[in-house]
Structure formats: structure tokens, C-alpha cells
Amino acid sequence: MKYFEFDKHEYWALVAAETKGRAYTVYAEEVGGEGTQSVISEGDITEVTKQIAFAKFINTVACLEENKDRSLHGFVHEFLGHENTTILITSELA
């Protein structure tokens, strides 16, 4: 799995996808946009390493009250379970 950050688009998101093209489609379907082509036209996306993506994920979800009793193993398992989907999204849409 590859990880892509949408940091030049209307809404920030971190997406796990097999390819850059699939990442655009996931964003269009799950975050916003009038289809894949409109999302592509908004700007390029940044591929990040698995380590950076996990750091962003853990820094966001580990501090939530509902996750206070979860183990690191549980967070890793959840993170690795993301395939062709949005991992994180701006709080404006949450």
C-alpha cells in the first residue's frame, strides 16, 4: 500500500491506495470533488512513507478519549487494515 497526502486541495486528507490514480478516486468518493478528474485538476498530491503516514495517524487517534485503553498493537493493526480508503480527514468534515 502507498500513502498520499492531499495538502493542496480544499480539504486535507491522508489516503491509503495502491496507486496515485486510485488515491485521487478514493478522495473524490470519500472526501469531496466532482469526480476523479476534478480532484486531479485541484493539484498534485504528495506520496509519503508508511512511517510518516503512521506517525500522522498515531498522533491523531491515540489522544482521543475513546482510544485511551488501546494498545500500540491495536493501532498498528488498524492502520495496516486501511486499503484504498481515507485514513485521516480534516476535522471540518469529521
pLDDT per residue as tens digits for the range 47-81: 999 999 999 999 888 777 877 888 888 899 999 99
Distance in angstroms (rounded) separating the CA atoms of residues 69 and 38: 41
Q: What's the whole-number mean pLDDT along residues 31-54?
A: 94
pTM for this structure?
A: 0.88
Distance in angstroms (rounded) separating the CA atoms of residues 42 and 8: 7
Give residue 33's pLDDT band: very low, low, confident or very high (50, 70, 90): confident
Q: For residue 5, what are the β-bridge partners?
A: 14, 46
What is the residue extent of each domain of the chain?
A: 2-89
